[in-house]
Chain A
């Protein structure tokens, strides 16, 4: 099958100087020379080293806990148990939330008291003069458990009689969607297709382990310097530690990878408790094994689709059931399940829709945010189902999608009208076209193609009433300063903010400095999660910088005796625009800055720093603190799931070619192309990095990554057992960037951080099924599963 790119609708994007350029990110060189200080790299005088004592049982009563020997070890300064912090709860509410939405889920104890509910659950904290002494102290802690019955499967967990992890039952959350008339839709169908798909626990594997340092300063403020996606956790930390909120300061670092795993609190409360008790600086760095067993995972899901279709491929009705595993504590599970529920029907217009979803507690590692937040799991199911529908109807997979793709102005599953561009067919045809010629089969090696389209929200749930703040100012020498709380988790968040300010204030990127991620001194900008920072903080920086620009140009208009709209700023020079300039007489040409036009006249231009001096002398405001608010809504109807949930969505498609060795079961990705409409690229090189990197994570999800649990104990607690992609495993994904300019972010940008991952795994799933002629219903497609599937057709 040959595919040809569908022509794009005409779009006019304004010409920009800084935005849209693949500039060197502001954080890149410091990281490249090893100068960047991460959470574990910071030390203080008289600093103690902490360790966490953790449960080895998945479900047990703690009969006896004796820390006296550990406390008696010379060099051990402090051992804390739940008795020392009886009210310390790890709040599992949506972080950073200030809206009126009710809390979901129950809190986890910071330190387990009478009961442990998963292997790795924290029980005690140790602080000692050296790390070796802290490790030795852990060995001296005595504990006796009384094992309790556990439950290790969400399907078992919701059956009557299952051991209950939290009263009254193991149901953590349920959501539903009721739209149209599903019975009538199925009655009108020519065929009904039903499939069940399964996905495993997945680990984030950010390279930087959870780490940080805390100390109490001269005002009694507990300072916590740690890598986090959410500095607003200072409020939850204060509650857990028992101090006022203004006595906790989270100073984030540049984060060595987050992917949702540092959206929940990691080391912060432990550090704060120990610093408060010892009055000394304390450092805590997890081990890799600890990071595996103690922090969140991606939710395993079992998703069943029952879809009624016409012979044309048009969907008449869909019924979808989802069962997810929250692990031992809820954390963000209710919301991850909500995302999965809303994304369940995919980027398709389905008028008759029923979705029922449930997330249940088990005695396993807790699950929470992970790049895509339930969206990738939904996509693994809906995109395989689309291919199964195509197969059942003997139609091309693109044709089945084409007749169902949602269009601008249509309503999604919750009835929300899609307001931005939905370039689904445009992205699918481009991704498929770029695969080129299909590689022929050879011997036992069968080659297949597959693709997956998706939609994924950017920005938070609108009933959270999300806000961001940024401060932008111009210094006396014409350089620019941004203060914005947004944490940079490696995706280029702070660089985008700098490029936006550089664009608006007409300076080079090197002339912009940003101070970020400090809950005490940078304006709170909300979480670096939910693909929201470019949209939210980018818009706040846009507003603040635009306000400063207005002040500057207003003053300049008096100087030039020109209307402000005829003036512009570039390369640190303020000047009369060419169009206006042509009306004025020629004066002596003069070189004005490195890249500025040589033809601009002296009389019509002014160095930015001179203009700044004029403004300062007159007391004009040269800085601005802007507040950006996302659209606010009131939530969905709990009975029908109808209502607006997100500000907007990103759309795109990924296509892959795979080769399956039918003798060994090995799957090799030969080609991978991802095409996303990102609205507008602020930094195209950073966008390519997000898409290629996200795609790689998705390929790992499809083929190698599985966090294996057996009766509550992991079988994959290291990087030798849990396999993330290496440099040799997959080809680099070819990235095709589309720019509809239709996003809600600055300059029409959408978001790409999470969406980049979403279509990769289902694309591989469809390619494997295409290659071997049989569908494997469970991720990842290990050689064992591939061979088992091949055995099924041979029998």
Chain B
């Protein structure tokens, strides 16, 4: 089959790329420069490549780019930046939830999806939401703490640094 032009709206930017039918969303995003989307296994087992696809968390390695032509995609780097971090990113940095950092972007995407649908999650709900994201460094405790801290900050109304399209 020939490549097809696929439109991907990523973090508020519109991209068009000619892609073969077997190109996963993971590779399409990384080739566009969104290297915060990590390749940890390519078979949906580690969660490092998680992104929000029309608001829903997915493993981008399990989605073909052709399937999501025209979709709205948010990656971790779309939630905030060094000088304007998202409360989740800030909380991950502050609680020690980041060690090697390789799982972090996927973790934050899963956490964002959780807090979007449930702003007051219990520890159990947080752990369930993260169960598809593997971390080998932290033992998860500080990650859970970070999400609790971020939920608190976001519920206290400090939502001002949400990026357009980054939440609902």
Contacts and interface: CB of A to CB of B under 8 A. Distances in A.
**Mutual binders A and B:** yes
Interface of A: 22, 24-25, 27-38, 40-41, 132, 204-209, 254-259, 285, 287-288, 489-492, 685-686, 688-689, 692-697, 718-720, 724-728, 730, 732-733
B134 A207 contact: yes
A24 B99 contact: no
Interface stretch (B39-47, B64-72, B151-159): B39-47
Contacts of A40: 35, 39
B99 A36 contact: no
Interface of B: 20, 30, 35-43, 45-46, 48, 75-77, 79-82, 85-86, 89-90, 92-105, 108, 126-128, 130-131, 133-144
Contacts of B133: 727
Residue among B42, B99, B105, B143 with the most chain A CB within 10 A? B99
Given A31-B104, A492-B99, A689-B142, A719 B45 contact: yes
17 contacts: A28-B93, A31-B101, A31-B104, A32-B90, A207-B100, A207-B102, A207-B103, A254-B100, A257-B136, A285-B39, A288-B41, A492-B99, A685-B95, A693-B137, A726-B134, A727-B127, A733-B141
A25 B96 contact: yes
Nearest to B33: A43
B38 to A, nearest CB: 7
A726 B103 CA distance: 12
Contacts of B101: 27-28, 30-32, 36, 254, 256, 490
Contact of B85 (A33, A255, A489): A33
Given A27-B98, A41-B30, 19 more contacts: A24-B94, A29-B90, A30-B82, A32-B97, A32-B101, A34-B35, A207-B38, A207-B46, A208-B40, A285-B39, A288-B45, A490-B102, A688-B96, A696-B138, A718-B41, A718-B43, A727-B135, A727-B140, A728-B131
Given A257-B100, A257-B102, A727-B130, A29 B139 contact: no
B151 to A, nearest CB: 16
B40 A207 contact: yes
B139 A207 contact: no
A720 B41 CA distance: 10
A32 B35 CA distance: 13
Contacts of B135: 207, 727
Given A33-B85, A34-B105, A208-B100, A692 B38 contact: no
A224 to B, nearest CB: 19
A28 B102 contact: no
A28 B100 contact: no
A730 B139 contact: yes
Contacts of A730: 139
Given A256-B101, A689-B137, A34 B76 contact: yes
Contacts of A38: 38, 102
A29 B85 contact: yes
B92 to A, nearest CB: 4
Nearest to B31: A43
Q: Enumerate the 8 nearest inter-chain pairs by beta-carbon distance, A residue then B residue, closest first.
A: A34-B36, A490-B100, A31-B101, A732-B141, A256-B102, A696-B139, A28-B93, A41-B35
A523 to B, nearest CB: 24
Contact of A33 (B76, B96, B100, B134): B76
A101 B72 CA distance: 59
Contacts of B96: 22, 25, 28, 685-686, 688-689
Nearest to A731: B141
